[in-house]
Amino acid sequence: MKYIATVTTLLQFTIVIEPDGEKFHAYCPSLKGLHTEGVTKEHAVLYATDAVRLYIESQIKHSGPLPVDTPVSVVFDARAVPYKE
């Protein structure tokens, strides 16, 4: 009998927020070209967080490289359940 278990990989990214006139500029140094802005610091973080998610999803979809300088955590769910083909 085959079993299946879940493995979740968590990536951690730094988002830098800087004042830019009346707005806030946010970027992720680990992800080339990822820049956004918001009218508040909170909006800038929210938009940058969404941009990071979309960036990573695109890299995975198109078999692109993930940043190697990113801390990675792997979470194992030890509850293996029967796998039916």
Q: What is the pLDDT of residues 24-62, one digit of tens each?
A: 999 999 898 999 999 999 999 999 999 999 999 999 899
pLDDT at position 76 over 80? no
Residue 5 has a pLDDT of 76
User: What's this model's pTM, rounded to 2 decimal places?
Assistant: 0.72
The domains located in the chain, with CATH, are 14-70 (3.30.160.250)
Residue 71 has a pLDDT of 63
For residue 19, is it left (φ>0), alpha (ψ between -120 and 50) or beta? beta
Region 73-84 average pLDDT: 64
Residue 80 has a pLDDT of 59
